[in-house]
Amino acid sequence: GDSGEVGLRIRHTVLIYGSVAVTWLAMFGAFLMQPESNAIAMGYLWLVFLELSAIYDFSIDRDPIEAHLRLTRTIGAFNLAVVAASLVFQCPLLPCPYTMSFPGSERTAWVSTEQCQHLGESRDFVHIRGTNPLGMLFGCLGLMKSSALLFNGAFGIWNLLICGSCMLEGICILRWQSELLQQLHGSREHLEFRAHWYMTQHKITRQYELSTWDTKRQVLLAKLNRITGHLDAIRAVWDGKRPAFSEEEDREYHWTTRLENLCLKSGLGRAQVELLLLEFDQASAPARIEGMDAQNQRLVCMAVDRLLLEYLHQNRLRMLRMITGGEEGLAKAKLLEDCRALDPDPALKDPIAAGVRKVQRRTLFDQDVASFLQGSRISIRDPAARGLPPGRGEDLETESRSVMTSPTTSSSFRATTRRCLSTGGYPTKGRLLAAGTPAAGVCLSLGVYPHVPWRAWTLLYRWNSAVVFAKILFQLPMFFDDGSLHLFHEKVPDTDLLLDLCDGIYTARIQGDFDTEYKLYYELIRVYRSPELLARVSQPKALSRDLQTKGTMPTESQRAPGMQ
């Protein structure tokens, strides 16, 4: 039946996307298994990014099946090229590209096969590869000698997994391309619907904003004219040209003020707000006490206005299609019920209680201010309270204290920069630009659009990928500080060091410890070629020959520095 076909289609889709997930994990594992940054690692990481972005790119491509197969073939071809290059590089006929160049000599010492394999598998001798252009080239490409039988150890297992998953992925796509095409078309329709909905929502939002701006402009002009006329009337009262304001005029003035304030806060027209204000005022009639003075009447009106603003906010959400009309009606009924149940503050009835409450509020306010100031003083004096890392020295604490306590430069760019540099972490390591630019792009997109468009996320994705590849590229051996290192031996304490090194090399060779043998051999050549050691060794030898000729022993002051 239909349920069986749907279940079969779901299983086929899961199998296709499962093979894609296995390919992605295998490529990421091959990237992690690289002992250092090289071209092979960057290639696998780039294919991982392409595989991730293809989930959305295939949905908008004209021929998604062909695009998916093209990417699968690219991954398989790159993996086969890496496997072939690794196998060819293991051939014994190819000499080891890793060499050792020593200062004071024009010769280049080529290492043995065992030492070459040790260099290829070790991370401690990356600087040795930089002493020869050929070693630098193979080091950047990621080719190395290995004693493992299966290609290159664990890395070869990931190569086989990538090869198998690519074959399975291609077979599944060709076998069930109708199910995959239906899924991709559904994703495309969803993206098109979402884009249309976003544009419609953006249009509605912009129209609503323009309408509210125009309404607020008209209300502000009317309020300015009314205030100007009211000031003229007050001046006329002072000059004795007209009588004082009556209670009816005062009520009308305060009613108009309430109405204009609500219009400015909500952005709705005067007629609509006036009808709603009358309705809410009638609902709050039980809260008005007989004989209440004008000041207390205004306090009740403020409570009613606050409830009306909450309803106007719900009305705004309904106009922006964020809630339905039924939800707006329920919110209005609840707010009207709150108006009917509005209970005036007991302080409105008792002036003495009102005075006591004012004193209590003032006391609480003073206590809050005092505690805030005390906390600020503690944060200024105590580096641990500011989150400063321990063990950074007195300079960091002094600089942070001077920045935090400076009232004139606390908001300047210089103070902000000093804070970033003094707190340590990523700003001092060159990551501030990489972290701040995508955030700035998101903020700018949110400032322009109510919903971030897909192009903004694509731009951020490309920028993040570029930052990651730049960091990985900088880890290549050619960018190492010791890529062309010239070592010199300084302050040799004793000439017996050469004999000790020779004994250590002999012992390491007997035991088959190539790691220790290579280290001692390299140290021996480095020390032996050192001009400082040659100068120190020649003096004791000349002095020894003179002593043997004369038959006398040297005094303490006659000893050479190398023999002390």
- CA torsion sign for 504, 509, 510, 511 is positive
Buried b (16+ CB within 10 A) or exposed e, 446-465: eeeeebbeeebeeebeeeeb
How buried is residue 536: exposed, middle or buried, by Cβ count under 10 Å (0-12/13-18/19+)?
Answer: buried
Q: What is the pLDDT of residues 187-210, one digit of tens each?
A: 777 777 877 887 888 888 889 999
pLDDT at 218: 92
pLDDT range class, residue 113, cuts 50, 70, 90? low
Going by C-alpha positions, the residue among 305, 304, 310, 206 that lies closest to residue 260 is: 305
Assess whether pLDDT exceeds 50 at residue 225: yes
pLDDT at 461: 65
pLDDT at 263: 92
What distance in Å separates the CA atoms of residue 177 and residue 182, rounded to the nearest whole number? 8
Assess whether pLDDT exceeds 60 at residue 446: no
Assess whether pLDDT exceeds 60 at residue 549: no
Per the structure block, which two tokens stand in for 50? 């392409």
pLDDT at 393: 42
Instruction: Give me the DSSP letters along 304-345.
Output: HHHHHHHHHHHHHHHHTTSS-HHHHHHHHHHHHHHHHT----
Cα first-last separation, the chain: 97
Q: Tell me the domain boundaries of the chain.
A: 2-187, 206-349, 497-563
pLDDT range class, residue 363, cuts 50, 70, 90? low
Residues shown for the chain: 564
pLDDT at 214: 92
> Who wins on pLDDT, 436 or 519?
519
Query: How confident is the model over 354-378, as a mean pLDDT?
Result: 51
- The fraction of the chain above a pLDDT of 70, given in percent, is 50
Assess whether pLDDT exceeds 80 at residue 236: yes
Enter the DSSP assignment of 287.
G
Strand partners, 109: 100
Alpha helices in 122-269 (DSSP H): 126-129, 133-141, 154-175, 177-239, 247-266
Strand runs labelled E in 273-351: none
pTM of this structure: 0.44
Assess whether pLDDT exceeds 50 at residue 122: yes
Query: How confident is the model over 535-549, as a mean pLDDT?
Result: 50
Q: What is the pLDDT of residues 301-345, one digit of tens each?
A: 888 888 899 999 999 988 888 888 888 999 999 988 888 887 655
pLDDT at 387: 41
Per the structure block, which two tokens stand in for 425? 């972490």
Q: Give the range among 99-103, 274-278, 293-297, 469-473 with minimum mean pLDDT.
A: 99-103
> Who wins on pLDDT, 147 or 177?
177
Q: What is the pLDDT of residues 9-61, one digit of tens each?
A: 667 677 777 777 888 888 888 888 776 777 888 888 888 877 776 665 555 55
The alpha carbon of residue 337 and the mean position of all alpha carbons in its chain are separated, in whole angstroms, by 48
